[in-house]
Structure 1
Amino acid sequence: MNIRQHFRLQNLPRTLAVAFAAYLAAIFLGALVGAEVLLRSKSRWIKGTFMVVGRRGENVVLPPLPESLSRDVLGVVPLNPVRGHALVGPVERRSPYVERPVLEERGVIQSGWIAWVSSFVYNGTPAQLDVEYENVVVHTDIGDLPAWHIPAESGERDLIVIQIHGHGGQRSQGLRVLKSLQRTGAAQLYVTFRNAFDAPRVGKGYLSLGDVEAEDVLSALEWARDNGYRQAVLMGYSMGGNIALSALRPGFTPHPIPVRGVVLDSPALEWRDILRRQARRGGLPQVVAKPVGRMIEKIVTRRSGQNFSSVDQLAAAPRFDVPILLFHSPSDKTVPFWQAKALAGARPDLVELHAVEGARHIRCWNIDPERYEAALEAFIQRVKA
């Protein structure tokens, strides 16, 4: 044995100890960051990219960036939103710039304008769709929740669709289906749940992943009853889907008005699995991602008292008793598609699953709006009394 080998053997225990300490530190730091994001995530800005927009006839011209190159239908909103708004379709040209056709337009989008471009399409209020609406508040024990109320075009107060945004999201997530829901004859209520942006903060501002937020859905149903509505459909996006299903549990029933059905878009149904997958998606190797996921669960439970079993909607599947329309994509990297398949498999008598190939998280509508809206409208017509 030479001197170098002897030196290495002597220092092996120290090297292993340092490596193990680094491993533990990576788990702990990753878990702290993950827990903070899970508990408090909210933003005043809707996800999108600011770009200089060009115009070529009935097409818009955009720089070749990930958002402009995506398969999604996109929204283009100038910095001064009163100047216009456009929906643009599939990519027709990719190099040296991206060219996409204008599908709908309010005002005229002009060359040289800086615009917000996003697959969330809308970043404002229903006014972006030239739809009249009311700013209302939903009264709760923790304060008033801001909401948009869009009455049915007929003026009839029968069915109302209550829109529930996702984790870190805002009401405008649901505006993509506003016109579709109008065609069903239903009214709409877009509610902001507690501890989200622009809503009352409760305690330390921790989210409960669908558990306590379900009380806000109950308050929205009370608002609907007090304003003359007779039945409701709940529509939730991502965590909003978990909130909608949590509102079906026995502690919240019977409801102030009957809930005839639930529409879910990319719903978060089992959070423990999502935590592990998000840790892996963040670049952590599998050997670190699994313990990080478990550590996040422990930290969140210790800080907020979160009961992950109470928001496990796959375990709760046997108790559901209303029809469920479910949109999800095998390409979703935020909430795994297997959860949607598991729910549909557990309750084939209630769940109508639409698998949307190639869609990102909460972007099922963007891949094929006509197909999405046809399924949505048919479901609403089927479930309303």
Structure 2
Amino acid sequence: MDAAAKGLTRNRGGARPWSAPAEALLLTSDGVRIHAEHRPADRSGSTVAVVVAHGFTGAVERPAVRRAARVLTAGDGRPGVVTFSFRGHGRSEGRSTVGDREVHDLEAAVGWARSLGYRRIVTLGFSMGGAVAVRHAALYGGVDAVAAVSAPARWYYRGTVPMRRLHWVVMRPLGRVVGRLGLRTRIDPQEWVDVPVPPVEAAALLGVVPLLVVHGDSDPYFPLDHPRSLYRAAAPNGAAELWIEEGFGHAENAADDGLIERVGEWLTRAR
């Protein structure tokens, strides 16, 4: 087991590292313990792992995240999947920084996937997780492809009612109480000192790493200029693709099995 995996680990019986489900507590580079789970493909022996980064208020144990892992691994030729809870979510420690230090969490999960024996690692992020996945690939490297679903292109967007509500939850003391008690998300009360690289700028730094941008035309949080901006930023590198999905809302809760399956197929074949 990789040195980053601490505390709870389970890998029930097979000689091959991806032959059975597992879970672990991963220690990030900045010292936060992150809860992660591993779901092997239905047909063992896959050398590809999809690391799934959930949206804000999600977690490993949320039904939409579990469903995504199940869909991604079902059938011949499918990858294994690593899911994890961002800091401040689920059983992970720490507090959410809403897309900033979460890149450390994703890097720990990618490292664990590699330690399990997978040779090709791709990332799939939803909403906040999509922004983190793009930033992680630009800042850390080490992944073979990225899919960003319902991701914002820039920070501080308040142009829709849901985003104005989200800013209230994140920025106001009472809002953070609502986040902790109602949304089961613990939010860091400290504002960003140094504004992290925006996703759209990170997309331009991906180079030849394939990027799939997926967005719904019915997304209530981010209008279509966000995915189009991400795509345009990465497109000059020649490895970007944009899907605008009719009737699709927002992130993992709205993504149906068919869309998740298509995204998984794109990730496994992207070069």
Q: TM-score, normalised by structure 2?
A: 0.72
1:312 partner letter:
P
Structure with the bigger percentage of helix: 1
Matched, 1:307 2:194: yes
Matched residue, 1:319: 205
Q: What amino acid is the match of 1:316?
A: A
Q: Specify the structure having the higher radius of gyration (Cα).
A: 1
Q: Choose the corresponding residue for 2:158, options 251, 267, 275.
A: 275
CA distance in 2 between counterparts of 1:211 and 1:380 reads 24
Pick closer, same or farther for the CA change 1:373–1:198 going to 2, 3 Å.
Answer: closer
Change (3 A) 1:247 1:224: same
- RMSD across aligned positions (CA): 2.9
Does residue 236 in structure 1 map to residue 125 in structure 2?
Answer: yes
Partner of 2:216: 329
Which residue in the other structure is 1:359 paired with?
Answer: 248
Tell me if structure 2 keeps the 8 A contact 1:233–1:262.
yes
Deviations along 1:46-94, one digit per CA (max 9) or x if unpaired, are xxxxxxxxxxxxxxxxxxxxxxxxxxxxxxxxxxxxxxxxxxxxxxxxx
Give the CA deviation at 1:247.
0.8
Deviation of 1:225 after TM superposition, in Å, equals 2.3
Q: State the distance in 1 between where 2:189 and 2:83 align.
A: 32
More displaced stretch, 211-220 vs 152-161:
152-161
Counterpart residue identity of residue 245, structure 1 = V
Q: Which of these residues, 60, 69, 79, is aligned with residue 186 of structure 1?
A: 79
- How far off is 1:217 after superposition? 1.3
Matched letter for residue 149 of structure 2: D
- The match for 2:25 among 118, 123, 137 is 137
Q: Structure 2: where are the runs of 5+ without partners?
A: 1-19, 173-186
Q: How many residues align?
A: 226
Unaligned ranges ≥5, structure 1: 1-131, 283-288
Q: In the aligned structure 1, how far is the partner of 2:105 from the partner of 2:189?
A: 24
Matching of residues 276-291 of structure 1 within 5 Å: 276-278=159-161
Structure 1 residue aligned with 2:105: 216
Report the Cα offset of residue 134 of structure 1: 2.6
Residue 134 of structure 2 corresponds to which residue in structure 1? 245
* Maintained 8 Å contact 1:138/1:145: yes
- Tell me the amino acid that sits aligned with residue 269 of structure 1: A
> CA-to-partner distance for each residue in 1:230-288, whole Å, 9 max, x for gaps?
121101110001111121234x24x3xxx11111110122122x234348865xxxxxx
Structure 1 residues 377 and 146, CA gap change in structure 2 (3 angstroms): closer
